[in-house]
Amino acid sequence: AQKVTQAQTEISVVEKEDVTLDCVYETRDTTYYLFWYKQPPSGELVFLIRRNSFDEQNEISGRYSWNFQKSTSSFNFTITASQVVDSAVYFCALSEDLYNQGGKLIFGQGTELSVKP
């Protein structure tokens, strides 16, 4: 069965600290996609990144970076030099490539990040 686990429920850091949000997934499919979404206090869900299972190359976008490791079924998200505006709930999600599954996202429980000035 498919499952996404974000073991960290809440993380609190001080501005400018680096922080890593963990994500572990389970799937029997060989082709799948992993996502991170941000949910700021205003409530909307903002797409951050998508990776497919064949591409283990790490990705960096500004202060954000993602580490995908198939060997440990993990897709971790690091924010470098955190800022107060990074305070939000971050969700990791999995989508499989099966016709009868459509494109549904399976979400983790989310990690609430609080960045204090």
Partner 1 sequence: DSGVTQTPKHLITATGQRVTLRCSPRSGDLSVYWYQQSLDQGLQFLIQYYNGEERAKGNILERFSAQQFPDLHSELNLSSLELGDSALYFCASSPRSMGSAEQYFGPGTRLTVT
Instruction: Single out the residue of 8, 15, 65, 97 in contact with partner 1 (rule: CB under 8 A).
Output: 97
| Count of beta carbons in the 10 Å neighbourhood of residue 81 | 12
Asked if 47 is part of the footprint of partner 1 (rule: CB under 8 A), the reply reads yes
Instruction: Single out the residue of 11, 13, 24, 45 in contact with partner 1 (rule: CB under 8 A).
Output: 45
Q: What single-letter DSSP state applies at residue 103?
A: T
Question: Quick one: 48 exposed, middle or buried, by C-beta within 10 A (0-12, 13-18, 19+)?
Answer: middle
- Minimum distance, C-beta of residue 15 to partner 1, in the bound complex (Å): 27
Q: Which residues pair with 46 in a beta bridge?
A: 38
Asked if 44 is part of the footprint of partner 1 (rule: CB under 8 A), the reply reads yes
Amino acid at 116: K
Hey, which residues between 10 and 39 contact partner 1 (CB under 8 A)? Answer: 32-33, 35, 37
Cβ nearer to partner 1, comparing 46 with 81: 46
Question: Could you give the residue ranges of the DSSP H alpha helices within 24-73?
Answer: none
Interface residues toward partner 1, by CB under 8 A: 32-33, 35, 37, 43-47, 50, 52, 91, 95-110
